[in-house]
Structure 1
Amino acid sequence: MKIRLLVSILAFAQIVFAQTDKLSKVSGTKCSLVAPSGFVAATSFSGFQNIKNGASIVINELPTPYQSLVEGFTAEALKSKGMILVKKETIDFNGAKATLINLTQSANGTTYLKQMLVFGDTKNTVIVNGIYPEASKEIGAKIKEALLSTVYSNSQTDKPLEASTFGIDVKDTDFKLLKNMSGSFLYSTDGKFPSEKPTLIVGNSIAKIASQNQKKYSEERLKKLPGGELSVIKEIKEISVDNLKGYEIVADGKTKDDKPVLVYQVMLFNDKGDYYIIVGQAKDEFQKNLAAFQKITQTFKRM
């Protein structure tokens, strides 16, 4: 899902870009772009997808300074997340500096190519991520053209739930919805992300999974969370929510400075190879926060 540093919404100083007939607004964001031929608006994330060749363009907006985020995209950091850095360059983009990054990544036996356009300011950043199978590398030029067509508008409504096919109910809790990133909804109790306070992420799979052992897959997915390699599973059990079956995991995690953290993960699977995931983390009041995570999980519902 990310490389520890999370990406964020762009806030160019009151700059508003004009819409054109070719630009398509991206639901849940303040961005528009010219989608390549054959791409349609996605229903499970903010962006566009080409069902035929398995390609997608995903837009992420989150409150993280541009410079610190870009500096986090090192070959070593990316390798730790299963990605290989091919090229990273600074470009001029809409009157400011931006970064273009080319990556490769393997998943479920397929090698994917990624082109990422990263731009923003001292408070916020936007990542426009073009992803396509290596077997369809001929569309790479069109993907890059689409990324570079991206415009940002302060006047555009960016209601995160507009692009959603699922949701949770956090009323009567302290959690606040922040943003939609790659189809995942980010919540925290202090309105910040990353946050030292309890956080909650609710998302779904973009690609199909072939795993027949859902319990094992859930355990492996936990280890892929930021810092997940340090997590020790305390309990794993079957769970059923919204007529979907899956697994609930409660684990003891560690922060980078070796402090304990509660890690809560629920994965719910359908019969089409898709899954939904809920991840909660808290650094104190473990029992209270675990109860809150479990209560919110039971409100999960597909739209």
Structure 2
Amino acid sequence: MENKHRKRILITGAAGFLGSHLCDRFIAEDYDVIGMDNLITGDLQNIAHLFKLENFDFYHHDVSKFVHIPGDLDYILHFASPASPVDYLKIPIQTLKVGSLGTHNLLGLARAKQARILVASTSEVYGDPLVSPQSEDYWGNVNPVGPRGVYDEAKRFQEAITMAYHNAHGLDTRIVRIFNTFGSRMRLNDGRAIPTFIAQAIRGEDITLFGDGSQTRSFCYIDDQIEGIYRLLHSDCIQPINIGNPDEISLLQLAQEIIELTGSSSKISHRPLPIDDPKQRKPDIGLAKAQLNWQPKIDRKLGLEKTIDFYKKVPLETLSHKDFTYYNQK
């Protein structure tokens, strides 16, 4: 229900991991929130607690098709996209369409409503980086025709068309490059390392690790990520901004850490490394510090403890999904 005294925001991908936490944050900030999701990877359970609220509405819709929202809009957050290899390898065309057609539709909506739009990009625009840490002025090392290309290039195009709308039409735009993020509500069967490792450890199963585990990632807890996105939306930063935690760790170390934190008897099982698996992920967050006065506050251990507590409350049968294998941490 629209309230003329509240700011009004559309959040696409609202039933997903990041999208649902963003809905929570903007509800807490007393916005009128419109969630939109086609539920191809999202889950209504993530936002079920919001349906009773008078300042939350939900549209079951695919943003790759024309998007209409009645009334005024102040902001749009475009977070609709498959975000894990398990998903975008299964639905490559939909992944490309939501990054291209979906972004085009939402930029058009933002222009019609004179709304500010923030689009969710990713550290994947850097590909398998030749420099570390990755700063926003690094152009990346991406294979456009490899298995990950459908996601990487969708996001790179998304950034390009967003800047084109800003430059050609004066549209008020923001771009966030999201590095590895974890916390509650991550799907257990989507191939990402942390929920997969946690669930396997809780069950005492072998933890599946691709390659020798020396590839690194830098994990940001969800609360810190949401704070960074919130600050970016309300900033004057037009250029892309990295939001992530620069505390780098190898995936082998991560698996060992999760075994220790869960008190599990799990062993580590190695599998061949997938094609184009990035060897390093570490954000340079200098711009975020300078422009947003933001940096992560929650260290990995505390974040993992919170996340493990969340998954310990999940029914065991949920933790043993037949596709439950770490594929390729985004």
When the two structures are superposed, what TM-score results if normalisation uses the length of structure 1? 0.29
TM-score (norm 2): 0.27
| Structure with higher strand content | 1
